[in-house]
Amino acid sequence: MQKKLYDLNKKLTGDLKAHDPSLIKENDKWWLFHTGRGVGVKSSNDGLNWKNEDSILDNSLDWWSKYVNNFDKDNDVWAPDLEFFNDKWWLYYSVSEFGTNNSLIGLLSADNIESNNWQDEGLVITSTEGQEYNTIDPNLFIDPDGNPWLVFGSWFDGIKLTKIDPKNMKTTGEIYSLARRQIGKRPAGVEAPTLTYRSGYYYLFISIDHCCRGSRSDYKIAFGRSDKITGPYRDRNGINLLEKGGDVLAAADEKYIGYGGQDIFNNQLLVHHAYNKKNGEYRFFIKQLEWDNGWPKIKNYNKKLNSFCKLINIDANKSAAVKDSKTEARTKIVCQEDNNSESQEWLIYPIENGFYRIQNKHSLLYLEAENAEKTNGAKLQQWSNSRNFCQEWEIINIEADIYKIINRNSDKAITRSDNNFLIQNDFENLDSQKWKLVY
């Protein structure tokens, strides 16, 4: 059955609308829990055809408002996660006031999923304005020795980990920091943590950047690993996830963008949501997860260029960088001597048949032609995600490891000007228009 699911995951049918999906199997039946009023639930007998089930809770629980006053009662439960432990199913969920860390993580339990006889186990942990962390997006993880842990967090001070007392399944002891993203002192997008263990390593999967913006969503699934559950978690290049490290597993494909809200099933399946890039509608996907020399990848996913690199101009042997390492929108892009700064590093990832987005690691903003200009000489700058074609690029190999980079909106090439600003011009096969991608 699993082979059938792996081979045919592109043919999932039925009710596929879900944010923050969590995949589980009980006996021969598949279940998917997701964000929604009273906890969204779907089921499938074959893992392919999915139907909607009744929500777990008929109404918001009275005690939630003691900790979170202004949660959305039409979409009250976020990012549920469940595991079977000590002969029971334990379902952790979050309730939050959007955009703040006025949040809580609560707990439900049941002897089996099919009966839908869930019991309220009350509060697990809460956060309020002024605290460093945000108590949403819980993930229950059972380590190889059978000890339960809870990983959680969103934006603010990032991803946290703490032990769970197996007697009451509530948090206990120290809270550890696992991942964080910041622009200067401002928090940036990191959330939806998922922990798994394989062959001596703990793997932390996270969603980075922005969810829930329809066709403007730029969520991405990233990961790191550690030989200790408490970290440090590092990517392939050894960069700590507390320092904006993280390998990108997937960001987008030809039709869907904003991969995120992920869950890992049995180290074999990845479930996540994404958005149709044309109409902004969202749905969940189930894909086969493979492992290559101790690192995860998605089967048949085109990951070409999907990692951080430097853009080196052939003519000047200088790196494309944000001027003065600024993090503000509209800051111009220049060529400068390599100084190993994050402002010289760019995440290039595919979004549609031959086109890519280019995101600066330091500012987390996107490379574009200013004001969506189509004229020769227009300067390049950084800007927040606009989904305009001026932020999309065709990267074309012209010789050996040399590329030209063409703006989708203007059909003009990135060019180093005489004063080292990057501009767009008609491609004339000049060295100032040729680039090496150094990973």
Check if 401 is active-site: no
The Cα-based distances of 103 to 41, 78, 133, 384 in angstroms read: 22, 10, 10, 27
pLDDT tier at 340, thresholds 50, 70, 90: confident
**In angstroms, rounded to a whole number, what is the distance separating the alpha carbons of residues 121 and 91?**
10
Identify the domain boundary among 298, 325, 352.
298
Contact 8, 45 (CB under 8 A): no
Q: Which of 4-18, 39-53, 224-238, 315-329 has the lowest mean pLDDT?
A: 4-18
Radius of gyration of the chain (CA): 23
pLDDT of residue 171: 97
Instruction: Write out the H or E segment, with its range, that includes residue 261.
Output: strand 256-265
pLDDT at 7 over 70: no
Contact 305, 348 (CB under 8 A): yes
* Sign of CA pseudo-dihedral 438, 436, 181, 265: negative
Average pLDDT of the residues of the chain: 93
Q: Containing domain of residue 313, as a range?
A: 307-438
Q: Domain of 129: which CATH number?
A: 2.115.10.20
**In angstroms, rounded to a whole number, what is the distance separating the alpha carbons of residues 23 and 285?**
11
Identify the domain boundary among 272, 298, 324.
298
The Cα-based distances of 99 to 72, 221, 380 in angstroms read: 12, 21, 31
Instruction: Looking at the structure, tell me whether residues 350 and 411 fall in a common domain.
Output: yes
Report which DSSP code applies to 66.
H
Q: What's the structural domain count of the chain?
A: 2
SS3 228: coil
Instruction: Looking at the structure, tell me whether residues 105 and 207 fall in a common domain.
Output: yes
pTM: 0.93
**In angstroms, rounded to a whole number, what is the distance separating the alpha carbons of residues 54 and 195?**
28
The number of helices, as runs of H, and strands, as runs of E, in the chain is 2, 35
Average pLDDT over residues 249-269: 93
**In angstroms, rounded to a whole number, what is the distance separating the alpha carbons of residues 323 and 382?**
10
pLDDT at 353 over 90: no
Instruction: Looking at the structure, tell me whether residues 324 and 291 fall in a common domain.
Output: no
pLDDT tier at 392, thresholds 50, 70, 90: very high
pLDDT of residue 185: 83
Joined together, the tokens standing for residue 157 give: 């001070």
Average pLDDT over residues 397-421: 96
Q: Which residue has the tokens 């003519």?
A: 315
pLDDT of residue 2: 38
Instruction: Looking at the structure, tell me whether residues 133 and 10 fall in a common domain.
Output: yes
pLDDT tier at 10, thresholds 50, 70, 90: low
Nearest to 380 by CA among 414, 349, 338: 414
pLDDT of residue 308: 83
Q: Which residue has the tokens 């120290």?
A: 174
Please give the backbone phi and psi of residue 157, each rounded to the nearest 5 degrees, phi first. Answer: -95, 15
pLDDT of residue 394: 96
Instruction: Looking at the structure, tell me whether residues 375 and 332 fall in a common domain.
Output: yes
- The more confidently predicted of residues 74 and 24 is 24
Instruction: Looking at the structure, tell me whether residues 262 and 363 fall in a common domain.
Output: no
Contact 192, 260 (CB under 8 A): yes
Q: What is the dihedral of CA 107, 109, 113, 114, to 10 degrees?
A: -120
**In angstroms, rounded to a whole number, what is the distance separating the alpha carbons of residues 227 and 85?**
23
- The more confidently predicted of residues 49 and 73 is 49
Instruction: Looking at the structure, tell me whether residues 350 and 249 fall in a common domain.
Output: no
pLDDT of residue 130: 82
- pLDDT tens digits for range 134-167: 999 999 999 999 999 999 999 999 999 999 999 9
pLDDT at 3 over 70: no
pLDDT of residue 350: 83
Average pLDDT over residues 49-57: 96
Joined together, the tokens standing for residue 17 give: 């609308």
- For strands 49-53 and 13-14, give the pairing: parallel
Instruction: Looking at the structure, tell me whether residues 331 and 277 fall in a common domain.
Output: no
List 20, 137, 157, 209, catalytic entry: 20
List 81, 137, 157, 191, catalytic entry: 191
pLDDT of residue 6: 43
Average pLDDT over residues 196-216: 95
Contact 93, 39 (CB under 8 A): yes
Type of residue at 99: G
pLDDT at 77 over 60: yes
Nearest to 332 by CA among 296, 293, 396, 377: 377
Average pLDDT over residues 245-252: 91
Q: How many percent of the chain have pLDDT more than 70?
A: 97
Q: Domain of 355: which CATH number?
A: 2.80.10.50
Instruction: Looking at the structure, tell me whether residues 165 and 211 fall in a common domain.
Output: yes
- pLDDT tens digits for range 288-339: 999 999 999 999 886 665 678 999 999 999 999 999 999 999 999 999 999 9
pLDDT of residue 8: 45
CA 412 vs. chain centroid, Å, equals: 31
Average pLDDT over residues 75-96: 97
Check if 53 is active-site: no
Instruction: Looking at the structure, tell me whether residues 283 and 316 fall in a common domain.
Output: no
